[in-house]
Amino acid sequence: MQAVKGIYQDGNVRLVERPPVHEASEVLVIFPDRTKQVMKIGGLFEDHEIRDDDMERDLKDLNQRSTAHLEEETGEGL
């Protein structure tokens, strides 16, 4: 099986990625469960404030640094 990302809207599915087949094919559409939210963080972080904006900014920064590192190692632009 191959998975291809798409967006469902108003009864239609629009594929975001190019499918790996060119002929008519049977498909199976699976809708993900609603996004689950963290209700409580325990352990070492139990008494700490979790700031989603800071976490998102840090993840974006990490992604950019990882991409730059891969480009540097391969000598190619991604």
DSSP state letter for 9: E
Residue 64: phi, psi to the nearest 5? -65, -40
pLDDT tens for the chain, 78 residues long, are 888 888 888 999 888 888 888 899 898 988 888 776 666 666 777 777 778 888 889 999 998 888 888 888 777 654
The whole-number pLDDT of residue 39 equals 65
- CB-based contact 35:45 (threshold 8 Å): no
